[in-house]
Structures are given as C-alpha cells and as structure tokens.
Amino acid sequence: MPRHTILSLKKLKRDGEKIACLTAYDASFAAQAERAGVDVLLVGDSLGMVVQGRDSTLPVTLDEMVYHSASVRRGAPDSLLVVDLPFMSCNNPQQTLASAGRLMKEGGAHVVKLEGGAAMVESVALLAHHGIPVCGHLGLLPQSVHKLGGYRVQGRSEAEAECILRDAQALERAGADLLVVECVPAALGERLSQSLSIPVIGIGAGAACDGQVLVLYDLLGITPDKPPAFAKNFLSGRDSVMAAMAAYVEAVKHGVFPAPEHCFD
C-alpha cells in the first residue's frame, strides 16, 4: 500500500493540512519526489509537451500513459499514483472503464484522472461502481484547448464559476474521490474547496485549495517556453533536485505557495 490513500488525503483535508502533489514521468525523478516527501505523484498527459516536445497533450496515447505510469511506479513504489486518461481514451463509460483498467493493471495506477464535468458523470459512476478511484479535472481543460480558444483562465464570470461549481458537485455525487482545478480565480478555488468534501488540488487556483500540484519541469525551471504565471522555480538557489522538491513541499504545507503573484483574480 502507498504511504497515502484516498482516505488519508480526505483526513488531511479535514485536519486542514495541505496536500503537496507533483507530476512525474520516469523512475528517477519519481524516486527523488518520494524521498522529498511529496504526497501524491501525478503522471500527467503533460508529458506530451514537456517530455515529447509536442504543442499540446492531444497526441499522447494510452499506451504511452501506461508506459510512463509503470516507470513512475517502479521508481516510487510507496507513493500514491494518479494517472491521466489521455485524449480520446474515455469517450463513453465502457471505453473509460477499459482504459482505466489498463492504467491500473499495467501501469500500477492507484487513481485515474479524467477531464470534464457533467458529461463525465456516468463514466465516473461506472468507475466508482467497479472500485476504481477517480480524480476529476475542471477549469482549464488541456484536452479541450482548441474548444476553449487557448490556455486561458476559466470561471471569471459568475455564470462560468457557477457552471464549474455545479460540475464539481456532480462529479463528487457520482463518486469522484479527488478534484484537480486548473487556472481559475483564487476565489473560485476557495469556494470549491469549501463546497466539496473531497480534496481539491489546485494548479493556478489559489492558496485556499486543499493542496497544490505543479508540473515537475516548471518547478525545476527547465520548461523550454515561458513558464506559466502560476509556477515557481524552486531549484533556483538550491543545489539539488531533491532540495527543490522538498522546498516545494514545505512551501505548500506552510501555505506560502502559491503566493499572490501566482494566483488569478
């Protein structure tokens, strides 16, 4: 069993202790993250951009997610592993169930993550029925980047915020165990965390979320292009990757990251 479980993360939320999450794509970095005290590792389809050099997450395949998940699991056997269902691997509930089964059986995932709100409720319910833990993903949805018109902040209008809140509540009712919310105003991140009983993990969603997640390469300051506004280079001024990861964990746990300059109004 991993050091953390769905139940222990919910206890952290109830106790007011922040959850530190980080993406990982291979065994070596995953091992460093585990030793640095990261609570949850996310094998994100962001690997399409930061590992493969693509301009979006869309080309990433299920086979690639299985491969990277298994690599991370070998490097960090005691970490709770959340793995993305990639684009077009969850078009209907039965396909979602089959894809999630592969991530768990072949990739060693403990939790599967999927993007979308009300349209994914039936799939979430089916996964929960089969004992598969689910992490939802709302706000900026990278797999829908072309529909959204680019990588931009979501939920700024009251109507958009209400829609995201309704979607979050619907996912929780369907059986979701965690929620990632990306690129939304800090006030909406706080509202989501207060409204849901499941942990809400923010990325560009303000300091009031129950936890934070960053892309590993953004944390290390080695993203090829301009880093996102919500990211911080934790390697700057430190002499090792593990020291940077540990500093990130400490900053999240003490509520000093994200700072106001990493949040959206």
CB contact at 8 A, 111 and 82: yes
Domain boundaries, the chain: 6-262
Residue 30's pLDDT is 98
| Mean pLDDT value of segment 123-148 | 92
CB contact at 8 A, 90 and 124: no
Domain 6-262 homologous superfamily, CATH: Phosphoenolpyruvate-binding domains (3.20.20.60)
Residue for token pair 């000093």: 256
* pLDDT exceeds 80 at position 145: no
Which residues are catalytically annotated? 182
pLDDT digits (tens, 9 = 90+) for 35-74: 999 999 999 999 999 999 999 999 999 999 999 999 999 9
* pLDDT exceeds 80 at position 139: yes
Residue 88's pLDDT is 96
The C-alpha atoms of residue 171 and residue 13 are separated, in whole angstroms, by: 18
Burial of 159 (0-12, 13-18, 19+ CB in 10 A): exposed
Residue 225's pLDDT is 80
Tokens coding 191: 């509202």
| Mean pLDDT value of segment 209-230 | 93
| Mean pLDDT value of segment 158-183 | 98
* pLDDT exceeds 80 at position 209: yes
* pLDDT exceeds 90 at position 1: no
Residue 144's pLDDT is 82
pLDDT digits (tens, 9 = 90+) for 176-197: 999 999 999 999 999 999 999 9
pTM of the model: 0.96
Total Cβ atoms within 10 A of residue 240: 11
Mean pLDDT over all residues of the chain? 96
Q: Using a pLDDT cut of 70, give the percent of the chain over it.
A: 99
CB contact at 8 A, 137 and 87: no
